[in-house]
Structure 1
Amino acid sequence: MIKNLLFDFGDVFINLNKKAPELALSKLGIWEISEEMNDWHNQYEKGLLTSDQITEKYLKTFPQLTALSFKNSWNSIILDFPQHRLDWIVRLHKENNYRLFLLSNTNELHIEQVIKNMGAIRYSKFQSCFERFYLSHQIRMRKPDLEIYDFVLQNDNLNPSETLFIDDTLLNTAAAASMGIYTWHLEPTRDDVTQLFNLKKDLF
C-alpha cells in the first residue's frame, strides 16, 4: 500500500523546454554541448559549482557570451506552472492521506527563474505542500545516483515498498526501482501528474 509520494519537479509540475538552452546557445555560436560542459552541469546540479563559477567557465570558454546572455540561455528551459497542477497538489496536501516529498535535479539559477515565473507566493504555496523539498544543489547529490534515493529513504524513514516515485526521466525511475521503490515514468506529452490516481489506481 502506497503511503509516500515522491515527486520530481520539472515536466511533472512545471513545464520545461529541454531543447531551448541548446538552441539559444547555438544562436550565440555554441554548436555542441561537450562532455566537459556536461560535467560542469552535473557539478552545478550537485552544488559543487556556484552560479558565478559556472558562468565564469562559460564566459572564459566562449568569449562571445556575456553573463546575461548565458543566464538567459540557461534559464530558457523553464516555462510555466499550470494552475490546475498547483490546485491538485494543494488539495492532496490538505487531504493528508499521503506523505508528500519533492526530489528534483536543479540548480540555483533555475530555481530563481522558477520563482520569477511562478511568483514568490505561488512558489511558497507549492513548497509548503511537501514534508520535505529536496533540491539536488542543496543536498549535493543528484538523480540517478543511487545515493540520493537511499538518502531520502533513510532521512525520512520511508519504506521503499510503500513509496511511489514520479519522474519524467526513465534513468531516474529505473534507478529508484532498483532500490525497491514503486515508480511512474510520466511522459509529459501524454501524461499529467493530476491523472495519478486514475493511471496508477492499481497501486492505491
Structure 2
Amino acid sequence: MIDAIIFDFGDVFINIDKEHCHNQLKKLGLKEWNSELDILNHNYEIGKIDEIQFMGGLQKHIPNASVLEIRDAWNTVLKDFPENRLEFIQMLAPKYKMYLLSNTDRTHIEKFEHKFGLSFARDFYSCFEKVYFSFEFGFRKPDEKAFQFILNNHHLIPKKTLFVDDNADNIASAKNLGLKTWHLNPKTEDVVQLLDYMKNLND
C-alpha cells in the first residue's frame, strides 16, 4: 500500500521544452551545447555556483548577447502549468504524504513564481510535506543520495513510496533503492491519471 509519493516537477506538473530553450540560445549565438555547459548547468543546479556565475559562464559562449537576453532565453524552457494538475494535487494532498523533488536552478524557480504568480506557486507548494529543489539541498537526480536524503529525513519506507518522473535514469535510481515508480511519458500520459496507474501497482 502506497502511503508516500515523491513527484518530479518539470514535465510532470509544469510543461517544459528544452529544445526550444536551446534554439533560443542558438539565436543569440550559441554554437552548440557542450560538455563544459553540462558541467556549468550541473553546478548551478546543485547550488555550487550562483546565478551571476552561471550566466557569466553562458555568456562566454554567447559573447554578443547581454546577460538579460541570455536569462530570458534560458527561461523559455518553462511552458504552461495546466490548472487541472494543481486541482488534482490539491485533491490528493490530504490522502498521502507528498514531496516534490526537482533538478532545477534558482533562475527557473524565480521565473515560475513570477510567471504564474506567488499565490499559484504557494498553493502548489502547500500540497507537499516538503519541496526539494536541487539548488537548495545540494543533491540532483539520478544521484541516489537525493532519494536517500528524503527517505531518511521523513522516515519513508521505500516499498510504500511511489516516485513519479519522466526521466528513465531517475526512475532507475529510485528502483535501485526499492521505491515503486511511474515512468510518466508526458506525450501520452498526465499526472492526473495517477490514481488509475496506482490501481495496477503490485504491493
Deviation at 1:199, TM superposition (A): 2.3
One-letter code of the match for 2:115? N
List per-residue Cα deviations over 1:161-192 (Å, max 9, x = no partner). 00000001111011110110011000101000
Could you say which residue in structure 1 is the equivalent of 2:31? 31
Provide the C-alpha distance between the structure 2 equivalents of 1:11 and 1:60, rounded to a whole number of angstroms: 29
For the pair 1:64 / 2:64, whether they are aligned, the reply is yes
Deviates more, 1:56-65 or 1:176-185: 56-65
Secondary structure at the residue paired with 1:76? helix
Could you say which residue in structure 1 is the equivalent of 2:81? 81
Confirm or deny: 8 A CA contact 1:58 1:65 kept in the other structure: no
Provide the C-alpha distance between the structure 1 equivalents of 2:59 and 2:122, rounded to a whole number of angstroms: 33
- Superposition RMSD on alpha carbons, in Å? 1.1
- Aligned pair count reads 202
Confirm or deny: 8 A CA contact 1:80 1:117 kept in the other structure: no
Secondary structure at the residue paired with 1:153? helix
Provide the C-alpha distance between the structure 2 equivalents of 1:26 and 1:108, rounded to a whole number of angstroms: 22
Could you say which residue in structure 2 is the equivalent of 1:52? 52
Unaligned runs of 5+ in 1: none
> TM-score w.r.t. structure 1 length?
0.96
* Equivalent of 1:165 in 163, 166, 171: 163
Confirm or deny: 8 A CA contact 1:8 1:103 kept in the other structure: yes
Deviation at 1:60, TM superposition (A): 3.1
> TM-score w.r.t. structure 2 length?
0.97
Q: Percentage identity across aligned positions?
A: 40
Provide the C-alpha distance between the structure 2 equivalents of 1:65 and 1:182, rounded to a whole number of angstroms: 45
Summarize the alignment of residues 35-184 of structure 1 with structure 2, pairs less than 5 Å apart. Answer: 35-93=35-93, 96-184=94-182
